[in-house]
Amino acid sequence: MSSRPNRSPRTETGDETSAKRPAAPEGLFKTVSSSRVSQLIVDQIRLLLKEERLQPGDRLPSERELCVQFGVSRVTVREALRSLEASGLVEIRVGARGGAFVTAPSSRRVGEGLADLLSLSPVTASEVTEARLVFELGIVPLIVERATEEDLDALRALCDEHAEAVKQGTYDMEMSADFHTRVAACTHNAAVEMLVQSFHGPLLMSLREAQSVSPQMGQRGSKEHRQFVEAIAARDAEAAAEIMRTHLRRTASRVKTDGPAK
């Protein structure tokens, strides 16, 4: 097939729109033959998505039709669909309007996949803080330029909540990680958010290791968070970068310089 099929105007919303889409036309898929047939089916569908010949919302043919087009058994087709569903590329719906529908993987889903890879790697706390110095300082100009008033209000609310937690003795490193994640969202860049979400586990690990060396680190850190927010509000990229640099370097000085992450 050399061109994208004609599509009707998208006038409805939700499941009704997806349910009314025609199934992908015959001849879109190629027969496969291999000991890992289901993976070849997955690869074909991924390629069709990349080429935009399949798009989010499109309904795939029925299992029976897929069996014919691919030239495989229903068991193989189901295995491929389960794999696509697990990776967030397909949504399986049941009922009269059910079927396999193409979806777009969210940044959170992609981030979770990267997080799994990072959690299985021998990343050290010092490596994490070193990476943070490069990454978090690098996005400061974007944050200063793009942070909205709503972003600033949300960050200030977090700072208020964290300051109260410090007073109550309940402040923990999960709160610190949440702040940095919310800061990254101020870039309004999906790729940046995806990377930050994938880094959540290693980030938390490094913060906890630093806290084990200096149990009271949250008190100073939470104050620096607020100073950073006000520098962003003032659109002062230089001041914001310096605050973040000091903040991250102190964390880096408290983590081990060798050995695998615990």
Higher pLDDT: 3 or 194? It is: 194
Q: Is residue 113 part of a domain?
A: yes
**What's the pLDDT at 49?**
83
Same domain membership, residue 234 and residue 149 = yes
Domain end, chosen from 51, 82, 102, is at: 102
Percentage with pLDDT > 90 across the chain: 37
- pLDDT tens digit sequence for 225-250: 999 999 999 999 999 999 999 999 98
Tell whether the model's pLDDT for residue 217 goes beyond 80: no
Q: Is 91 helix (H, G, I), strand (E, B) or coil?
A: strand
**What's the pLDDT at 119?**
55
Q: Is residue 4 part of a domain?
A: no
In the 8-state DSSP scheme, what is residue 101? E
Q: Is residue 8 part of a domain?
A: no
**What's the pLDDT at 211?**
80
Domain end, chosen from 76, 102, 128, is at: 102
Percentage with pLDDT > 70 across the chain: 77
Same domain membership, residue 114 and residue 242 = yes
- pLDDT tens digit sequence for 150-200: 999 999 999 999 999 999 989 988 899 999 999 999 999 988 988 887 787
Using CA atoms, how far apart are residues 256 and 123, in angstroms rounded to an integer? 12
- pLDDT tens digit sequence for 46-61: 888 888 888 888 999 9
Same domain membership, residue 130 and residue 89 = no
Q: Indicate the pLDDT class of residue 149, thresholds 50, 70 and 90.
A: very high
Q: Is residue 259 part of a domain?
A: no
Domain count, the chain: 2
Same domain membership, residue 116 and residue 238 = yes
Q: What is the domain-level CATH number for residue 30? A: 1.10.10.10
Cα end-to-end span (Å), the chain:
52
Same domain membership, residue 80 and residue 46 = yes
Q: Which domain holds residue 83?
A: 14-102
**What are the strands, taking DSSP E only, across the chain?**
90-93, 99-102
Same domain membership, residue 166 and residue 193 = yes
Q: Is residue 260 part of a domain?
A: no
Same domain membership, residue 96 and residue 145 = no
Same domain membership, residue 66 and residue 152 = no
Domain end, chosen from 102, 118, 144, is at: 102
Q: Is residue 9 part of a domain?
A: no
Same domain membership, residue 207 and residue 114 = yes
**Mean pLDDT of the region 6-31:** 56
Using CA atoms, how far apart are residues 262 and 256, in angstroms rounded to an integer? 11
Residues 6+ apart with CB under 8 A from 51: none
DSSP 15-83: HHHHHHSPBPPTTSS----STTHHHHHHHHHHHHHHTTSS-TTPBPPPHHHHHHHHT--HHHHHHHHHH
Same domain membership, residue 169 and residue 94 = no
Tell whether the model's pLDDT for residue 262 goes beyond 50: no
Using CA atoms, how far apart are residues 56 and 33, in angstroms rounded to an integer? 27
Q: Is residue 1 part of a domain?
A: no
Q: Is residue 87 part of a domain?
A: yes
Q: What's the predicted TM-score (pTM) here?
A: 0.58
**What's the pLDDT at 128?**
85
For the chain, what's the residue count? 262
Same domain membership, residue 136 and residue 229 = yes
What is the chain's mean pLDDT, rounded?
81
Same domain membership, residue 78 and residue 54 = yes
